[in-house]
């Protein structure tokens, strides 16, 4: 799902869904954007003047916007979409670099092109930490801060992937890298909430496990570390059948045989 500017939540960060995801059907649905669409095509886009502008409370501005020359991966033949998705992921993730812009106490801000990134307005706020993935410009970003009730827990608030790169597995690897940096920073636990099976699967790829907890109406809480990642995988995935699902979601749940392998983190 891609959330346009008009559909962005208007509440505070505490009340917003933690994730917004791209579903293969393209049906809008509020949740975090760990983009794991299998069949999405990738097209060349031009970077706007706002894309990738980074700042802090100290007014240090870094402009990382460059014209994007994306590899030609525009085939619409989905007869073997799973293998094509794996090929695209391997080809497009090899040259990406992770950068931690700062933790919440550093007050980093990040201006993203709202036409290319969901929840772009949330990244301008200085009350969350920020991290990005770059490849000739920013292709993914995450926002996070300590849990309000437990300073030893980092809560990932938003993950967004540039729309022409959705489906490349960027979100899952970004999540994996953020949780590793959180441990280095002294956090004992990292949590995230997702409200659809695609985002759920992406979080599992990052090493998170279903806790059995829920927030809001439909959000499942996942945490790392988890000693129940494998044993509760199916429970969490099947729980989405409690609401009305579209055909792509049903097919996705039916097709999953077990928890996915954990992806590798990005290099810094």
Residue ranges of domains in the chain: 5-255
pLDDT for 134 equals 96
The tens digit of pLDDT for each residue in 185-235 reads: 999 999 999 989 998 999 999 999 999 999 977 899 999 999 999 999 999
CA distances (Å), origin 156, targets 18, 69, 167, 247: 7, 30, 20, 29
Using the predicted structure, report yes or no on whether residue 263 has a pLDDT greater than 60: yes
Which pLDDT band holds residue 267 (cuts at 50, 70, 90)? Answer: confident
Residue 144 pairs in a beta bridge with 129, 156
pLDDT for 23 equals 42
Query: How many C-beta atoms lie closer than 10 Å to residue 172's C-beta?
Result: 28
pLDDT for 37 equals 35
d(CA 86, CA 88): 5
d(CA 70, CA 105): 35
User: Which of 60-74, 95-109, 235-249 shows the lowest per-residue confidence on average (mean pLDDT)?
Assistant: 60-74
Q: Are strands 109-111 and 97-102 parallel, antiparallel or unpaired?
A: unpaired
Look at the pTM and tell me if it is higher than 0.85. Answer: no
Read off the tokens for 94.
């090899």
Number of residues in the chain:
268
Indicate the SS3 state at residue 41: coil
Using the predicted structure, report yes or no on whether residue 52 has a pLDDT greater than 60: no
Q: Please state which CATH class domain 5-255 belongs to.
A: alpha beta
**Residue with tokens 């008009």, as numbered in its chain:** 6
Q: Are 152 and 188 in contact (CB under 8 A)?
A: yes
Q: Region 47-67: what's the mean pLDDT?
A: 37
Q: Among residues 27, 46, 31, 16, which one has the least CA distance to residue 196?
A: 31
Average of per-residue pLDDT values in the chain: 75
Q: Region 48-62: what's the mean pLDDT?
A: 39
User: Which of 59-63, 85-89, 106-110 shows the lowest per-residue confidence on average (mean pLDDT)?
Assistant: 59-63
End-to-end CA distance of the chain: 29
pLDDT for 19 equals 55
Q: Region 18-23: what's the mean pLDDT?
A: 46
Q: Are 32 and 143 in contact (CB under 8 A)?
A: no
Q: Rounded to 5 degrees, what angle do the CA atoms 182, 199, 79 make?
A: 130
d(CA 154, CA 148): 9
């Amino acid at each position: 799902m891609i959330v346009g500017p008009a559909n962005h939540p208007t509440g505070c960060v505490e009340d917003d869904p933690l994730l917004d995801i791209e579903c293969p059907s393209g049906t809008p649905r509020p949740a975090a954007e760990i983009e794991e669409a299998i069949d999405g095509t990738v097209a060349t886009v031009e970077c706007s003047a706002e894309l990738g502008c980074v700042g802090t409370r100290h007014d240090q501005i870094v402009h990382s916007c460059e014209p994007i020359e994306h590899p030609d991966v525009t085939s619409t033949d989905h007869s073997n979409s799973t293998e094509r998705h794996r090929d695209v992921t391997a080809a497009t993730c090899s040259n990406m670099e992770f950068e931690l812009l700062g933790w919440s106490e550093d007050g980093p801000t990040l201006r993203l092109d709202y036409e290319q990134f969901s929840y772009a307005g949330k990244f301008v706020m200085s009350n969350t930490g920020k991290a990005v993935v770059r490849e000739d410009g920013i292709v993914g970003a995450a926002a996070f801060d300590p849990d309000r009730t437990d300073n030893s827990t980092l809560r990932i608030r938003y993950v967004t992937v540039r729309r022409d790169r959705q489906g490349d597995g960027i979100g899952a690897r970004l999540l994996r890298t953020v949780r590793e940096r959180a441990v280095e920073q002294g956090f004992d636990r990292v949590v995230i909430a997702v409200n659809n099976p695609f985002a759920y699967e992406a979080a599992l790829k990052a090493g998170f496990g279903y806790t059995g907890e829920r927030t809001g109406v439909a959000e499942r809480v996942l945490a790392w570390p988890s000693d129940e990642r494998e044993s509760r995988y199916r429970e969490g995935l099947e729980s989405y059948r409690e609401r009305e699902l579209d055909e792509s979601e049903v097919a996705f749940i039916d097709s999953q045989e077990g928890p996915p392998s954990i992806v590798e983190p990005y290099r810094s």
